[in-house]
Structure 1
Amino acid sequence: MSKDTPDTYLNDRLDWNLLRTFLAIAREKSVSRAATRLHLTQPAVSQALRRLEEQLGLRLVDRHGPRIEVTQAGIEVQKIAEDIYGTISRLSLTEVDREHDISGMVRIGIVSGIDFPAYDDFLAGFHRTYPRIEFESQVMRSADVVNSLQRKATTLGLTPRRALPKGVESRVFLRQRYGLFCGRHHPLFGREDVRVADLASQAFVSFTGDKVGDHMSPLTIFRDEMGFTGRVIASSSSMAEVRRYIFAGLGIGCLPEHIVSDDIARGRFQRLPPDEGVADVDLYFLWSQDRKFNAAEAAFMSALHAFLDAQEAEGTE
């Protein structure tokens, strides 16, 4: 094996702390003042100077009692040390906001069909603040959202509320009012004289969670109270699929009013009675109380709570 060249040896072995100590000596023109500046003892500073001179094979200072005079070789080394010091100082990245320089993964369990423009804007702002945080959303049934939180497989859940196990906390994420609708291909579409009594025997499109005791049970209760006897001809846990079945005319069905508003304007859906809507089925933000969050998760959870606080404050104004 070939021996190291002097340049290679210095690159690999030279201790920056020795250069830093010499830089303080050269600036202060005094070992004692350099020691005070570096919070070291005078013997430690003198020893560091000797070690640097030995490693470089150069005399860097001349001593005249307590006074230090930097040699010509020392002046050249000082210039190089100043450059190195400036480069190392830039490594501190003072222009970066360390509080927001966070990386990590946030996993969200979510039911399908959530349409919440203010939340979309919130995500855009959060990404600008924390560009290195990554997201993974998994569309699930409501029951699976809760199960994933219990297993610590997801950071948080967004779902209609259901009976929650111990340790899973919740708060309202989005208030939703459901109405009854038919699609363009349904026989009732275009009729202006439709009454609730005309709907009793119509085939129905429902959510798979639409049964008493489940998270969509208010919709079941509405059908029972209205005396609807039509069979459920299609069902899905997916909002998009329920919406598709209703549009195709398979049956009438319930959807969140704000989701269907554009379709009504485009002539794809028609609102059916009752005019006041069917039921409130709010969406909730769920999280596990005993989960230890990583830095990315903690940042997102805190920001999401603040976003919902602001939404609630706007709603009370």
Structure 2
Amino acid sequence: MVDLELRRVRYFLAVAQELHFARAAERLHMAQPPLSVQIRKLEEEVGFRVFERTSRNVALTEAGRVLLAGARNAMDELQRAIYSGQQTERGHSGHVRIGFVSSGGVTFLPKLLRQLRNNLPEVHTTTRQYSSNGALEALAQRSIDLAIVRTPFVGEKLQHRPILRDRVVLALPDDHPMCRRKRIRLQEMQHESFVMYPPNEGHAAYSVVQRACLAAGFSPLVAEFVDDVYGILGLVGAGIGVALMPAAISRLSVDGVVFRPLPEVAERFELSLVWRAEDDRRLISAVVEVLAKVGGVLGSHTVGDHRGE
């Protein structure tokens, strides 16, 4: 195997482009005699002449033309490798696996991923939906690199950044008598049955609903526990019960469901980005910075009269 010095390849490419030793030497900021010496050494290393030289002309040999094509490809690959290495070092390139809870997946996750593509186009992502507990478990097992989960959460050796605090809204069947009213007090729903996230799989969301109802003076009657946002809204649309949801969900069009604001409710649904504390890759910190900024822009949602079409 021939061991070529990179600088000699550069010298060869310069002469091959100029087909003139003096101009090539000037371009390389060196004298012509040393350049000629380096080209002769390159020819000794490869075992064939790369240039035909006369007193007036310099031309590539047939073997030199073959070497030129390969050398150009090699230098292009090297430049791409250097660039990719630099992007990786800066955290601007790589692959990130993201787990998310269902409510985030159908509301603002598309905005987050779009912003990520715009800011870090060479970072590739794969996503998968989990419950909050499932996402944290996948994070601990290294099945994913980053999780979007409800806050608060329980987990060891994790870091997190809050990205969204969302108002609580009421989801009602569209034939419910209260739908005729634009404003409803949560206290008025104390005799209703609620469709809720299960306490074991959606503890944070479950706790928000419990605290909001207790602050309104009652403990919610549970009709069903469902761990998926579309499952909850499907049961609401079927008339099984009502539900307290993040305001961002009110942007969805769900058949048979109406949303109403609850301005007196102080509780908020919170989402955070979570990652392993030991994962100090610049890629992760760069992704977190981009996504956290988008979360801050999204802020807290409000809700009007959104009826499933």
1:142 and 2:132 matched: yes
- Indicate the residue corresponding to 1:203 in structure 2: 193
Pick closer, same or farther for the CA change 1:53–1:123 going to 2, 3 Å. closer
**Structural mapping, 1:259-298, within 5 Å:** 259-260=249-250, 268-271=257-260, 275-277=263-265, 279-293=267-281, 295=283, 297=284
| Deviation, structure 1 residue 176 | 0.7
Within the candidate set 224, 229, 243, 1:239 is matched to 229
Within the candidate set 241, 254, 258, 1:251 is matched to 241
Q: Which moved more, 1:46-55 or 1:119-128?
A: 46-55
For the residues of structure 1 that align with 2:168 and 2:102, how far apart are their CA atoms?
Answer: 15
1:75 and 2:59 matched: yes
**Structural mapping, 1:81-230, within 5 Å:** 84=69, 87-88=72-73, 104-114=94-104, 120-128=110-118, 130-186=120-176, 188-190=178-180, 198-209=188-199, 214-228=204-218
- Indicate the residue corresponding to 2:307 in structure 1: none
Tell me the amino acid that sits aligned with residue 300 of structure 1: V
Tell me the amino acid that sits aligned with residue 48 of structure 1: K
Pick closer, same or farther for the CA change 1:39–1:218 going to 2, 3 Å. farther
Pick closer, same or farther for the CA change 1:223–1:76 going to 2, 3 Å. closer
- Indicate the residue corresponding to 2:20 in structure 1: 27
Tell me the amino acid that sits aligned with residue 282 of structure 1: E
Pick closer, same or farther for the CA change 1:225–1:37 going to 2, 3 Å. same
| Deviation, structure 1 residue 28 | 3.6
For the residues of structure 1 that align with 2:106 and 2:118, how far apart are their CA atoms?
Answer: 19
Do the aligned residues in 1 keep the contact of 2:169 with 2:246 (CA within 8 Å)? yes
**Structural mapping, 1:22-61, within 5 Å:** 23=15, 27-28=20-21, 37=30, 45=38, 48=41, 51=44, 55-56=48-49, 60-61=52-53
For the residues of structure 2 that align with 1:304 and 1:211, how far apart are their CA atoms?
Answer: 24
For the residues of structure 1 that align with 2:66 and 2:295, how far apart are their CA atoms?
Answer: 53
Q: Which moved more, 1:243-252 or 1:189-198?
A: 189-198
| Deviation, structure 1 residue 61 | 4.4
Q: Which has the larger radius of gyration?
A: 1
| Deviation, structure 1 residue 271 | 2.4
Tell me the amino acid that sits aligned with residue 303 of structure 1: V
For the residues of structure 1 that align with 2:250 and 2:46, how far apart are their CA atoms?
Answer: 80
For the residues of structure 2 that align with 1:26 and 1:59, how far apart are their CA atoms?
Answer: 9
For the residues of structure 1 that align with 2:285 and 2:185, how far apart are their CA atoms?
Answer: 51
TM-score normalised by structure 1 residue count: 0.66
Do the aligned residues in 2 keep the contact of 1:210 with 1:220 (CA within 8 Å)? no
Tell me the amino acid that sits aligned with residue 48 of structure 2: Q
Tell me the amino acid that sits aligned with residue 277 of structure 1: V
- Aligned residue pairs: how many? 287
Tell me the amino acid that sits aligned with residue 123 of structure 1: L
TM-score normalised by structure 2 residue count: 0.68
Counterpart secondary structure, 2:143: coil
For the residues of structure 2 that align with 1:196 and 1:59, how far apart are their CA atoms?
Answer: 87
Tell me the amino acid that sits aligned with residue 143 of structure 1: N
Do the aligned residues in 2 keep the contact of 1:186 with 1:250 (CA within 8 Å)? no
Pick closer, same or farther for the CA change 1:156–1:39 going to 2, 3 Å. farther
Do the aligned residues in 2 keep the contact of 1:186 with 1:248 (CA within 8 Å)? no
For the residues of structure 1 that align with 2:14 and 2:190, how far apart are their CA atoms?
Answer: 92
Report Cα offsets for 1:72-98 as digits up to 9, x if no partner.
6x535499599659945666769x975
Structure 1 portions without partners, runs of 5+: 1-11, 63-68, 313-317
Pick closer, same or farther for the CA change 1:46–1:143 going to 2, 3 Å. closer
For the residues of structure 2 that align with 1:59 and 1:106, how far apart are their CA atoms?
Answer: 49
**Structural mapping, 1:3-22, within 5 Å:** 17=8, 20=12
Do the aligned residues in 1 keep the contact of 2:161 with 2:292 (CA within 8 Å)? no
Q: Give % identity.
A: 15
For the residues of structure 2 that align with 1:45 and 1:143, how far apart are their CA atoms?
Answer: 64
Structure 2 portions without partners, runs of 5+: 300-309
RMSD: 4.9
Do the aligned residues in 2 keep the contact of 1:158 with 1:285 (CA within 8 Å)? yes
